Structure 1
C-alpha cells in the first residue's frame, strides 16, 4: 500500500470538508425547487461559462486524455476542434429556444411536439448517458487514488460518492455552479503543475520530448483520408460535432444552466467562454500525455513496472511469474495508458504537492458528478414523477423528490463506476456509451426543431428505424464469423452520426411523402 504523507492527506481531507461546507452554506438559500434547479436565474454568464468548462474538464479529461495521448496520438483532440461550430449553432438557435419556452427540462417540448412517448424516450436516453458519464468519472478517480493509497477502488468510489451526494443535496445547482468555478481554476493549475514536473525531470527537457514525440508520430491528428472505418480526423470531427451538439442542445446539464442566467445574452456568453477555455485546456492534457510518453521512453524501468501491474490484473489469481512476464512483454502503450498519470504521481511528485494534485483530480470528478446528479434529479422530478405519478404536489413534496432522486442517482453512478472496473480506456468507454445513448434523442430533437411539418407517427417510425440502426451498429461486430457480411464496418464513433441522421432524415422523408400524397 502506498501511504500518503500526513500533509497530503490533510490537504485532501480539507478539500472534501470544504465541499461539504459549501453545500451547507448554500443550503440556507436553497428552500425552493426553483432555486434548487435554476438558482432563481441569478448566476452571471462568466460563472456559468466556468461551470460548463469545469463539467467538460472531468476526470475523463484529466486522466483519460493523457492516457489516450500516451497510448496513441492527438487524434482525439479533434473532438475539441469541433466545439466552436457546435457552440455557434447552440448560441444562435438552442439557447433562445430554451429561454423562450421557460421550461426547466430540456425534454418537455418534445411532448408538446410529438407526444408523451418522445419526452419519455429522450429522458431515458439522457439518464442512461448520465449514468455512463458518472460511472466513467467515478472509475477514473478511483483508478488514480488506488495507485496513491492502495485502497480498493470500490471503497474509494463509495467515500467520494457520499461526499458528493451531501454537498449536491444541500446546495442545489447554485452550490454546483460556484464550486465548479473554483474547481475549474484548481484543475487547470493542477495540470500546469504536472506538466512542469514532467519537463523539469525530463533529460533534455522540451526538445527531447518533441524529438521522441515526432519519432513516434505522437502529434498526429489522424489520417486526413475520408476513412470512416478507423478513427480518422473526419470520424472524430463528426463525432465531436454531433456529441457537442447534443451536449449544448439536449443535455440537461447544460440546458439547465441556460436558465440560471439572467438573460439569453449571458447564457450564450457562457457557452463561448466554455469553448475558449476548454480547447486550449484539452490541448494541455494532450501535451501532458505526449510528455509522459517521452519520459517513460527514457525511463524504461517505469514502463516495465506498469506492464507487470496490468499483466497481474489481467491474468487469473495465482499465475506464475513466467506467465506474468510473458503477458507483460506483449502489452502495448495503449494497454496501460490510463495508469501512467497515477503512476507518475506516485513516484515523482514531491510530498506536499501530491495532496494538491489529488485535490485537482477530485475537483475534476466532483464537479461533473454533482452536475449530473442535479440534472438527473431535475429531469426525474419534472419529466417522470410529476408527469406520470403526481402532478399536483406542493413545494415541500417537490424538494423531497429532488433530494431523494439526487441520492438515488448518485448511488447508481457509483454502481456504474464499480461495474467499469477493468476497462482498458476511460475515454474510449465514455465516448462509445455516450454516442450510443445520445444518438436517438439528438435525432428526434432536430426533427422536431427543424422539420416543422413532421407529425407524431412519422417521428415514431423514424425513431424505431433509428434505434434498430443504432442496435445493429453497436452489436453486429459481435456476430460470429459466418455472419461477417452483416457486421457494421464503420468506426464505433460513427454511431451517433449515423443514428442521428437516420432518425432526422427518415422523419423528413416520411413527411415529404405524406405531403406529396395529399396533394
Structure 2
C-alpha cells in the first residue's frame, strides 16, 4: 500500500499494525462473555485506565488538528485543556461514586429510572451521533496525513486502518482497548516530542528565534479576555471546554465504562486525575508544534508554497490555470492550510526510519479513539437499544455475538462519516462544533436529573423540547436570510453546548418550581 515510503518505514508501520491486531488475538482468549467484553471483569489498575482515558482524549484531532489550529491562529484552543481540572473535580466528587454504586455498565440507564424510557433513548441517540462525529473526524485526520505520505486516496487509507482497528476491538473487547491505549498513549507522546526536536533542529536560530517570531505574531496568545461570546475568546473556549469535559467525564460512555473496569472507586477516581495531569502538558506539546512550524515556514516561506498551491487547486479544480492557482495561493492565510502543514513537514523534512515512527504515533492517536468509540457505541446499542426494545431475554452468548456485530457496524459507520468530512477546512473546528451540537442536550438532561430532585417527567420533556429548539436555532441560524438579522444567533459556535445545556437545566428547574413539585419526584 505504501510503496512511496522507504522500506524501513513500511516495516515499522506494518509491525505496529500487526502488533495491535495481535493484542486483540491475545485478549480474545479471555473474551468469553459480555461482562468481560464490556467491563474486563473490573480488574484493570487505575493507572492503566488513566492512560487509556488520556489516549482517548489525545486523538488525531489533537495530533493533527491542534498544530494546524496553532499554526493558523494562536494558542486560544489550549484554554480547553485548562478547563479540565474543574470538570474532573466534579466528576470525581459526584459522577464516579454515582456510577460505581449503580453498577450499570451503561451511562444512560439512570435516565430511564429518573424520567422514563424516552430520556434514556434520547441520550443514547445523542451519544451515538457524537461518537460518529468523533470517529469520522479522527478517520479524516489520519487519512489527511497518510495521503500526503503515500499518495493513496483518503478512502483507501480509512478502509485499511479501519479494518485493523475493527479486528483488535472485536476480538479483544474493552481490555484490549485499554491496554493498547496505554501503549498508544506513550507512543503518541514520544512522537510529539520527536517532531518538536526535528523542527527545532532544522530551525535557524533555534528556540530563541521561534519564541521571537511567535511573540511578534501573537502565536502564544490565549485569546481576548473581553466579555465577548460572539468570537473565540478566552471565556468562550473555557466555557466550551468545561461543559464538554463535564460531558466526557460525567456521561460519555467511553469514560463511564472505564470506571467499571477499575478494581475500586478510588482507582477509578485516580484514573481521572492521572488523565488530566498527563493531558495538560501533553496537549501543550501540540500547540508548541504549531508555533514551531509557523516560525520555521516564516523563515522559509518558499517551502510552504506547494501546500498553498495544493489548497488553491482543491478550491479551483484541476483544470485551473497556473496563473489562477498562483493568484489564489497568494491570498491564502495560514488558517486556510494549517491542517496540511505538519504532514507536509513530515514528507519533506523527517528522515527515513523516523517517518515510520511518526506515522505509528499518528496511527496510535487515531486507533485509540476509534477503538474506544466502537466498543462504547456497541455497548450502548446492546444495552440501551437492543436489549431494551428488541430482545430482552438474550443469553450471554447471544449478547456477546451482538456486541461483536455492533462493533463492526459502528466501525464502518465511522469510516463513512470520515469520508463525508473530506474537504473540511479544520479538523478541530468541525469536531468541536459537532460535539457541541450533539452533547448539549444530553448533558443538560443528565444534570437536570442529578441536580434537581424535584424535576419530573413532564418538566424534563418540556425542557428537552425547548433545548432542542434552541440548539437547532443556534446551529442553523446562519441559514436565515440576511433580511432578518434579528433572527440570527450572534453567539460563537462553541457556545452551542453551553446554551443548550443551560437551557434544558434551567427550563426544567423553572417548570418544576412553577408546578409546585417541591419534595416530589416522578
Answer whether contact 2:455 2:517 (CA < 8 A) is retained: no
Q: Quote the Cα distance in structure 1 between the aligned partners of 2:356 and 2:518.
A: 68
Q: Quote the Cα distance in structure 1 between the aligned partners of 2:484 and 2:100.
A: 49
Partner of 1:97: 98
Answer whether contact 2:454 2:518 (CA < 8 A) is retained: no
CA gap 1:452/1:518 in 2 versus in 1, 3 angstroms: closer
Q: Quote the Cα distance in structure 2 between the aligned partners of 1:301 and 1:149.
A: 23
Q: Quote the Cα distance in structure 1 between the aligned partners of 2:234 and 2:116.
A: 38
Deviation at 1:316, TM superposition (A): 2.3
Partner of 1:513: 514
Answer whether contact 2:126 2:438 (CA < 8 A) is retained: yes
Correspondence 1:130 to 2:131: yes
Q: Quote the Cα distance in structure 1 between the aligned partners of 2:209 and 2:304.
A: 18
Partner of 1:296: 297
Q: Quote the Cα distance in structure 2 between the aligned partners of 1:329 and 1:485.
A: 36
Q: Quote the Cα distance in structure 1 between the aligned partners of 2:328 and 2:109.
A: 52
Correspondence 1:345 to 2:346: yes
Q: Quote the Cα distance in structure 2 between the aligned partners of 1:138 and 1:229.
A: 30
Partner of 2:280: 279
SS in 2 for 1:166: helix
Partner of 1:233: 234
Deviation at 1:343, TM superposition (A): 0.3
Partner of 1:332: 333
Deviation at 1:329, TM superposition (A): 1.1
Question: What are the residue-to-residue correspondences of 1:331-480 with 2, within 5 Å?
Answer: 331-480=332-481
Partner of 1:114: 115
Partner of 1:500: 501
Q: Quote the Cα distance in structure 2 between the aligned partners of 1:128 and 1:302.
A: 40
Partner of 1:65: 66
Deviations for 1:255-306, whole angstroms, at most 9, x for unmatched residues? Answer: 0000000111000000000000000000111001000000010111122111
TM-score using structure 1 length: 0.99
Deviations for 1:332-372, whole angstroms, at most 9, x for unmatched residues? Answer: 10010000110000000000110000000000000000000
Runs of 4+ off more than 6 Å: 516-519
Q: Quote the Cα distance in structure 1 between the aligned partners of 2:44 and 2:101.
A: 18
Deviation at 1:461, TM superposition (A): 0.3
SS in 1 for 2:516: helix
Q: Any gaps of 5 or more consecutive residues in structure 2? A: none
Partner of 1:39: 40
Deviations for 1:64-107, whole angstroms, at most 9, x for unmatched residues? Answer: 00000000000000000000000000000000000000000000
Partner of 1:266: 267
Answer whether contact 2:448 2:508 (CA < 8 A) is retained: yes
Answer whether contact 2:192 2:285 (CA < 8 A) is retained: yes
CA gap 1:278/1:516 in 2 versus in 1, 3 angstroms: closer
Q: Quote the Cα distance in structure 1 between the aligned partners of 2:58 and 2:3.
A: 27
How many pairs align?
Answer: 519
Q: Quote the Cα distance in structure 2 between the aligned partners of 1:2 and 1:422.
A: 25
Q: Quote the Cα distance in structure 2 between the aligned partners of 1:2 and 1:332.
A: 33
Correspondence 1:252 to 2:253: yes
Q: Quote the Cα distance in structure 1 between the aligned partners of 2:518 and 2:354.
A: 71
